[in-house]
Structure 1
Amino acid sequence: MDNLCCFKLRRGPTSYKSGKGKNHEGDIKFGFDLVKGKANHPMEDYHVARFVERDHHELGLFAIYDGHSGDRVPSYLQKHLFDNILNEGDFLVDPKRSIFNAYEKTDQAILSHEKDLGRGGSTSVTAVLMNGQRLWVANLGDSRAVVSKGGKAIQLSTDHEPSTERASIEHKGGFVSNMPGDVPRVNGQLAVSRAFGDKSLKSHLRSDPAIQDTIVDTKTDLLVLASDGLWKVMDNQEVVNIARRIKDPQKAAKRLIAEALKRESKDDISCVVVRFR
C-alpha cells in the first residue's frame, strides 16, 4: 500500500506541485504544496509524502529537500534516502541508529557520484511516523519540522547555521564570513553548516543529522515540515496557529505558502502538513 502523491498543478503559474493523501485507516491526513521562488534557476525544492507498509507496520514518510547549486542532489534524495533508511536491517528495532547510518551512507553515495550529481548539495528534514504513535525527525541544514501539541509549537529539528557551529567549522580549517551578503556563510559560500553533498566544502561541513523523536499523543494535532523559504518570514507559533485553523492539510499548506509570499519570501517554498486528528 503506497499513497505517494506527487503531481503538477495546471491552475496557476505560482503552484509547482500540490496534493494530499491519508493513511490506511483514514484518520491521519496529509497535504503538501510547493511554489518556485523568484531566483533564475530551476525549482530546487523536492518533497516526499506517503504511507507504506513494512513488516506489518504502517510508516508515514514525509520530507523536504532544499537544494542549492542545482536540483540534482535533492532529486536524488527524494528517490533514495527513505529507501536507504528502511533498508537498514535494524530499522524497526533501532530507528535512531538506522536513520543516522542511512544519512551518512547517502551522503557518501552523493559524493561518490559527483560526476552525475554535480557539486551542489541539499538540506534535508525527514519524518518517519511509526504506526501513528511515534515520530522520528532528522535533519541537516535549515529546513525545519514543527509539531503542535495542544496548540503549542514545538520544534523537532535543529537549524544548522554557520554562526552556531562556527567552532566546528574553524576547527576543520574553514571560516565563517558575512561577506558577500548579510548572512553568515561557510567560507563565504554556504548559509548552512550541515548538508548533503557540497564536495568542495565537505571538509568544513558536517553531514551527521540531528535526530529527535516524540510520542504522538492525544494532544498532538499536527506536524509541519517546510523549507527555509517559509521559516525566514514566519515563526513556529505563527505557522502552527494558521495550520490548526484549517482542517484540510493541503489547504493549510497552501495558506502557509500564501502568507509567506505575502511577506515577500523570494525563495522556493515547500510545505507538508500532517493532521493527526
Structure 2
Amino acid sequence: MTSDSGQLNTLTVTRTENTRRRTLNCTYQTVMNINISETTTSNDGKDNEDKNLLLLNGSSKQSGGVRTLTLRSTHGVVSVIGRRREMEDAVKVELGLTVKGGGKFDFYGVYDGHGGSGVAEECKERLHKVLVEEIIVVEGDGIDWGRTMKRCFEKMDEEVSRGRLGEEMVGSTAVVAVVSGGKLVVANCGDSRAVLSMGGVAVALSLDHKPDRPDELERVEAAGGRVINWNGHRVLGVLATSRSIGDQYLKPFVICKPEVTVRELTDDDEFLILASDGMWDVVSNETACRVVRRCLNGRIKRKSVVVVDGNRNRAAGAAAVLVELAMARGSKDNISVIVVELNKP
C-alpha cells in the first residue's frame, strides 16, 4: 500500500487464492461489458491477471452486486459493491442533454444511498430529467444555475416523498456536475464530493455536509435537532450526513438543499472527480488528483485496457485505479467514481 506522500507510479492489489475474485464491469455508449480484474496470487506465488486489450462493441447489462458502468473517450465511471452486502450507490452519465432554446449540456451524477438503494436509484433515473424540465434560460443572463439546481433537488425530494410511502428511512446523497457552454456547475447534497484538478492543484468544488461541520451543526440545532456522537457524529444519533434527498423522518433537521458552485472553465482545468464517500474516506483530494493525473499521462498503467475508437480510455483506467486504491486502503463501503477530462474535445 502506498501512503499519500509516497510514489504512486505502481499500484498492485494482491489477494490470496481463496479470496473471492472481484471484477469491475464497465460499459460504453456503443457498449459491451468488460472486466477489469484485480491481480490474484496463487499458492505457487505466480500472478494471474487479465491481460486483454478490450474493444467496446455490444450492449450493457448488470451483474450481481456490481452496477453497469458508462465509459466514453473523455470520461470513465466505475461503481462497485466493495465489502458491503448490498449495493446502495448509483451513478449516471447523460451526454448532450437538450433544453428549451436548443442549449445542450453533459450531466454526471453520483448517488450514495442509505437505508436501501431505492432513493439512489430514483435519483439516477429522474434527477437529470427534472433538471432539464427546470432549466429556464433568461435572455441576456443565461441560466440561473443556483436557483435551478436548488429547485431541481427540491422537486426530486418531493417525488421521492410521494412515491415511497412507508420508506421514510431511505435516502441518498447527491453530487452532480454539469458541463455546459464553457461553464462547470457542481451541486452537492450530502457527503459525496466533487474535486477539480486545476493547473496541478486539487480544488474541492463541494464541501461535505457532515453533522459536525460548524454551520451544519448550528443549523440542525436551530431547527430543534441534535447531533450525537454515536460511532461518529450523526443527526439524532442516526444519520452521518446532514443533507440528503429522502429521509423524511429526519426533516427538518436533514434538508435536501444543495450547495452550488458555478465556474468558468479555463485551460488550466484538467479533470473532475466525482465520488462517493467510500473513496473519499480513505483517499485524500490531493492523492486522488495525483493518481488520476499519472493515469492520464500514462505513468500508471493497467494490464486490462479499455479502447474506444482505437484510443485507450485512460479516464476509465484512472477511475478503476482509484477504486482499487480505496479497496487496498480498507474502504468498507460501496465505491463509485467518475473521472471527466475537461480539456478534451
Cα distance per residue 1:45-92 (max 9 Å; x no partner): 101123124244331100100000000000000011111111115155
Which shifted more, 5-14 or 61-70?
5-14
Q: TM-score, normalised by structure 1?
A: 0.89
Identity of aligned residues (%): 32
Pairwise CA distance, 1:38: 1.8
For residues 167 and 6 of structure 1, the distance between their equivalents in structure 2, rounded to whole angstroms, comes to 47
> Given that residues 319 and 339 in structure 2 are in contact (C-alpha distance below 8 angstroms), is that contact kept between their aligned partners in structure 1?
yes
> Given that residues 93 and 109 in structure 2 are in contact (C-alpha distance below 8 angstroms), is that contact kept between their aligned partners in structure 1?
yes
Are 2:172 and 1:122 aligned? yes
Pairwise CA distance, 1:117: 5.7
For 1:266-277, list aligned pairs within 5 A: 266-277=332-343
Letter aligned with residue 176 of structure 1: V
For 1:221-232, list aligned pairs within 5 A: 221-232=270-281
Give structure 2 stretches of 5+ with no counterpart. 1-27, 38-63, 297-313
Which shifted more, 151-160 or 51-60?
51-60
> Given that residues 197 and 289 in structure 2 are in contact (C-alpha distance below 8 angstroms), is that contact kept between their aligned partners in structure 1?
yes
Structure whose CA Rg is larger: 2
For residues 192 and 4 of structure 1, the distance between their equivalents in structure 2, rounded to whole angstroms, comes to 33
CA RMSD, 1 decimal: 2.1
> Given that residues 138 and 210 in structure 1 are in contact (C-alpha distance below 8 angstroms), is that contact kept between their aligned partners in structure 2?
yes
Cα distance per residue 1:130-165 (max 9 Å; x no partner): 03x110000111000001111100011121000011
> Given that residues 5 and 19 in structure 1 are in contact (C-alpha distance below 8 angstroms), is that contact kept between their aligned partners in structure 2?
no
For 1:47-196, list aligned pairs within 5 A: 47-54=91-98, 55-90=101-136, 93-115=143-165, 119-131=169-181, 133-164=182-213, 165-179=216-230, 181=231, 183-196=232-245
Distance 1:14 1:199, change over 3 A: closer
Cα distance per residue 1:208-239 (max 9 Å; x no partner): 10000122111111000000000000110110
Give structure 1 regions of 4+ aligned residues with deviation exceeding 6 angstroms.
none
Q: TM-score, normalised by structure 2?
A: 0.72
Counterpart in the other structure of 1:37 = 82
Distance 1:9 1:197, change over 3 A: farther
> Given that residues 168 and 249 in structure 2 are in contact (C-alpha distance below 8 angstroms), is that contact kept between their aligned partners in structure 1?
no
Counterpart in the other structure of 1:263 = 329
> Given that residues 4 and 50 in structure 1 are in contact (C-alpha distance below 8 angstroms), is that contact kept between their aligned partners in structure 2?
no
Distance 1:135 1:262, change over 3 A: same
For residues 81 and 270 of structure 1, the distance between their equivalents in structure 2, rounded to whole angstroms, comes to 17
Secondary structure class of the residue paired with 2:108: strand
For residues 207 and 221 of structure 1, the distance between their equivalents in structure 2, rounded to whole angstroms, comes to 30
Secondary structure class of the residue paired with 2:69: strand
For residues 5 and 69 of structure 1, the distance between their equivalents in structure 2, rounded to whole angstroms, comes to 34
